Structure 1
Amino acid sequence: MTARLIHRFDVALGRYIPEQRLFLRSEDSTRFVRLTPSSIFLIGSGAAVLVAWAMISSALLLMDGIGAGNLREQARRDQALYDTRINALAEERDRRVEEVLAAQERFSLAMAEVSKMQSALLASEERRRELETGIEVVQKTLRRTLAERDQARAAQAQLVAKIEGTEQGDDTAKPRTADMQDMLAFLSSALDTAAMERETVAADAAAAYELAEALAYERKLVEQRNDRIFNTLEEALAISVEPLDKMFRKAGLSTDELIDEVREGYNGIGGPLVPIAVSSKGSAATPTADELRASELLNRLDELNLYRIAAEKLPFAMPLKSAFRYTSPFGMRRHPTTGRYSMHEGADMAAGHGTPIYATADGVVTKAGWVSGYGRMVKIKHEFGLETRYGHLSRLRVKEGQRVSRGDRIGDMGSSGRSTGTHLHYEVRVGDTPVNPTTYIKAARDVF
């Protein structure tokens, strides 16, 4: 039955594929091999399948190579863009720091200039008071001199009347008349002297009035100059404080509570006692408007300094200064080793093995050693109840109880503990409650 089917199949194929014979000759004989149409079909089909398989495999290998090259090229482009962005952010941070330092330097110079102007203003005010006192004394002297002149003129008139009356009398009045004439000459001389003194005093008074007007004009110019300086300083302080205040609010922190806590921690005072300036009326000297504005500026400068101290005490800096990649964010995720969904209480940042890791704020190292799950871990306690953790390190560079500052190197990146590869597990905790560390990093992006 099978041979019959094969024969029918050969007959059908014979119309398209004729039977072939393959002759094999030797020295003494000749042999041949008969190739039926079905054998030829099977051999051709096998060769076609083999060629097709070779072509498909070559195409797949070629496409895989092209795709891998494209992925590597895309990865290189992404890495270059990322490095460019990181460099731009670092340059922007450096520019911001330079602007803040320049603003502080300008503020210090302006405060020194304000101090000089206030000293000059106080000196001019003292000269004005002295001139006002001198003018008042001159006016009193002038009024007294004019009164004496009027009295002398009245006495002169009375003496002249008496002399004219006695000249018509007897000769016994002549000696008396001579005395009257001498007295009259003396009074005339005194009147001339008083008139000269009055003119001198009037000229001095006119000069004093002109000097007082010049001092008043100079004082007005100084006040205008001081007002411009105060306005510039107030604007500079507002520009300096605004980004810091925005940074704290983005991190979900109360700026008033932070400032109060920093002020309580930095409240030492002392020094020798200095007597309070007392006016001639016996009461304390009333501060001027410029003194009140200067006091307000000093308060704002103190507030800026408190913001700066608080920023150094809180984890706003980056734990890595080299290029890295975020591999796992804060929040719920599928655990890389167990495969179950669980809470990820930090942020994972991957870079090369041994990458330096830095403290993100001032604080005290409370743990530097092996912790289950974290591997080699550094735990730092900061002000205001905050704590940062750095896990999976390959090397520790700090010890427990050591005080560190922001930017100090505390370890090297590794893959110790429960980890699938080299990375840093970075946590921020507030009162032992984990919070998203990228909130602090993003809040400080436009400041540091």
Structure 2
Amino acid sequence: MSRRSGRVKRIISRLFKERQIYHRSDGVVHFISMSTRTQIALAGVIGTFLLWVAYASVNVVFKEQIIVAKERDARIMETTYAKQLLKQQRAYDDVHSLNVIMQREFDATMAEISSRHQTLKSMVERKVAIDQSLDGLARGLSEAGAPNGAKPANANRVMIDVAPAEATPRQSRLSILRRQALEEVEKSRAAAPPGSAASEALKKMESAAVDLYIEQMLLVAALEEKATAKIDTLHRVLAATGIGGEELLPDPKITNMVLAQGGPFIHAANFTDASTAFFRHANRAGVLIDELATLEAVVARLPLSSPLTVSRRLTSGFGVRRDPITGRNANHFGVDFSAAWASPVTATASGVVVYAGVKNGWGRVVEVDHGNGFMTRYAHLHRISVKRGQKVALHQKVGELGSSGRSTGPHVHYEVLYKGRPKNPRRFMEAGRYVFES
């Protein structure tokens, strides 16, 4: 340890020998004596100063570099932030555009569904009203039974089922309709970016819409089939009367071939091909329902029932017969039913009483106008129950069975007149039987 300290002292003594600094001023020589310690102190001060200068210089240089680096980092962060912001803005724009597409498609789909629903609702309500009217008529006619009074033996099937068996099974038709619907929807499908969430959502929405579209199309087809079947039945009823539908049906009205049921104006551009196809089918079904309504209105006013709903017996038919009083051949323009005395005689269809009184040969008689040129006559009554101008419904009592006028016993003479000409009432009663029996 002493050796090392002695060596250090020798090195310091050589480096910092005692020195004298001379200088002359005004002929006088001065000197400064600098000891080793003084030199060491001065060297320390100078070294410290130089270190401080070096530190300050380096610090200034590095601070500038640090500031430059920080500014560069700030610019990088700002650029990155701007890119992220732009990316988020683009993502927002994409989402917004997808929302617009989804909203537009949803609104269009709901508008189509609502429009189809309203059309179907209108047709179904009309069809139900017609069916209820025909069912009521069938039930009323079944109360009277056949001309001889026989009741239906099959629990009163309301209308004859004349619809042919379905050509193709429902599942096959369902597949055909689904394929057609998908093809139609494909033509009008909104463009969504491939692989986007909107694309999958649109597919699900379109799939649900297609399923509903198919069900609505099947309902239209069912309405069309059932309307066609009942139209055929009612035409057979009219044919059975011997007059025929051509003479009884009014002239066809001009039909709206765009939206059969009418309603608010809806521009064609608002509908896809699928909707247009639906309304074509719906229009055809609507035309059939219009025809069915016309037929129902005609049939409802036909005198298809018997004037007696109680037990009775047909005692004389329509046409030439032997007169019960003179015994000679004579025309008989009606049919005679015998039953218990004072049995209720009822209207065979709805109408208005145009005569209620006594006529020569007929005794007490009631005549009812049913419209469309039809009138019925009920003669030889014991008592009259209605007045002239009174409205009557099917099977409403108009009098009581008796034997007034030119009669040989208690019975009711019943006539059907069309445009003033007598028609065979039995044909009308058989047509009425056709309504409720199969």
TM-score normalised over the length of structure 1: 0.52
- Kindly provide the amino acid, as one letter, of the partner of residue 247 in structure 1: V
Residues 1:218 and 2:208 aligned together: yes
Corresponding residue of 2:415: 427
Matches within 5 A, 1:2-401: 89-90=151-152, 92=154, 94-96=156-158, 132=190, 135=192, 203-204=195-196, 207-260=197-250, 274-277=264-267, 279=269, 288-401=276-389
Alignment CA distance shift 1:386-1:85 (3 Å): closer
Shift of 1:92: 4.6
CA deviation vs aligned residue, 1:250-284 (integer Å, no higher than 9, x gap): 112332443326979xxxxxxx984433638xx99
Q: Is the 8 A contact 1:262 1:310 kept in 2?
A: no
- Kindly provide the amino acid, as one letter, of the partner of residue 446 in structure 1: Y
Q: Which range is displaced more, 226-235 or 255-264?
A: 255-264
Shift of 1:213: 3.6
Distance (Å, rounded) in 1 between the aligned partners of 2:204 and 2:369: 63
Aligned residues: 266
* Alignment equivalent of 1:410, drawn from 398, 415, 436: 398
- Kindly provide the amino acid, as one letter, of the partner of residue 239 in structure 2: R
Distance (Å, rounded) in 2 between the aligned partners of 1:431 and 1:257: 11
Q: Is the 8 A contact 2:347 2:394 kept in 1?
A: yes
Distance (Å, rounded) in 1 between the aligned partners of 2:332 and 2:280: 53
Distance (Å, rounded) in 1 between the aligned partners of 2:214 and 2:263: 34
SS in 2 for 1:382: strand
Corresponding residue of 1:191: none
Task: Provide structure 1 residue ranges, at least 5 long, that are not aligned to the other structure.
Answer: 1-82, 104-120, 139-201, 265-271
Alignment CA distance shift 1:84-1:436 (3 Å): closer
Alignment CA distance shift 1:85-1:411 (3 Å): closer
Distance (Å, rounded) in 1 between the aligned partners of 2:250 and 2:275: 27
SS in 1 for 2:433: coil
Relative contact order higher in (CA < 8 Å, ≥ 6 apart) = 2
Alignment CA distance shift 1:262-1:349 (3 Å): farther
- Kindly provide the amino acid, as one letter, of the partner of residue 336 in structure 1: P
Distance (Å, rounded) in 2 between the aligned partners of 1:245 and 1:278: 36
Distance (Å, rounded) in 1 between the aligned partners of 2:253 and 2:397: 29
Q: Which range is displaced more, 244-253 or 303-312?
A: 303-312
Shift of 1:332: 0.9
SS in 2 for 1:288: helix
Q: Is the 8 A contact 1:93 1:447 kept in 2?
A: no
Alignment CA distance shift 1:389-1:203 (3 Å): closer
Distance (Å, rounded) in 1 between the aligned partners of 2:207 and 2:424: 61
Distance (Å, rounded) in 2 between the aligned partners of 1:263 and 1:394: 46
Q: Is the 8 A contact 1:93 1:445 kept in 2?
A: no
Matches within 5 A, 1:426-445: 426-445=414-433
Q: Is the 8 A contact 2:383 2:400 kept in 1?
A: yes
Alignment CA distance shift 1:441-1:84 (3 Å): closer
Corresponding residue of 2:104: none
SS in 1 for 2:435: coil
SS in 2 for 1:391: strand
Alignment CA distance shift 1:286-1:227 (3 Å): closer
CA deviation vs aligned residue, 1:378-426 (integer Å, no higher than 9, x gap): 0112212111111000000111122222221100000000000000100
